[in-house]
Amino acid sequence: MSKSDHSQDRVELLQGTLDMLILRTLQWGPQHGHGVGQAIRRSSADLLQIERGSLYPALHRLEAQGLISSEWKASELNRRAKYYRLTAAGKKQLASEQSKWKLLVKAIARVMRTA
Partner 1 sequence: MWRRFWGRKRRDEELEEEIVHDLALEAEERAQSGLSRRDAECASRKDFGNVLLVKEATREVWAWRTLEILAQDLRYAARTLRHSPGFAATSILALALVVGVNTAIFTIFDQIAFRPLPVQDGRPHCRRLRDLSWPVRPQDARQHSHAVVP
Interacting residues with partner 1 (CB under 8 A): 1, 3-4, 32-34, 51-54, 56-57, 60-61, 64, 75-77, 79-82
Residue 54 or 99 with smaller CB distance to partner 1: 54
Question: Which of residues 29 and 103 has its CB atom nearest to partner 1 in the complex?
Answer: 29
Amino acid at 69: S
Residues in Cβ contact with 48 at an 8 Å cutoff, skipping those fewer than 6 apart: 10, 11, 13, 21, 40, 41
From CA 36, how far away is CA 28, in angstroms rounded? 10
Instruction: Output the smallest distance, CB 20 to partner 1, in A.
Output: 17
> Among residues 17 and 75, whose Cβ is nearest to partner 1?
75
CB of 19 to partner 1, least distance (A): 12
**Do residues 26 and 94 touch, judged by C-beta distance below 8 A?**
no
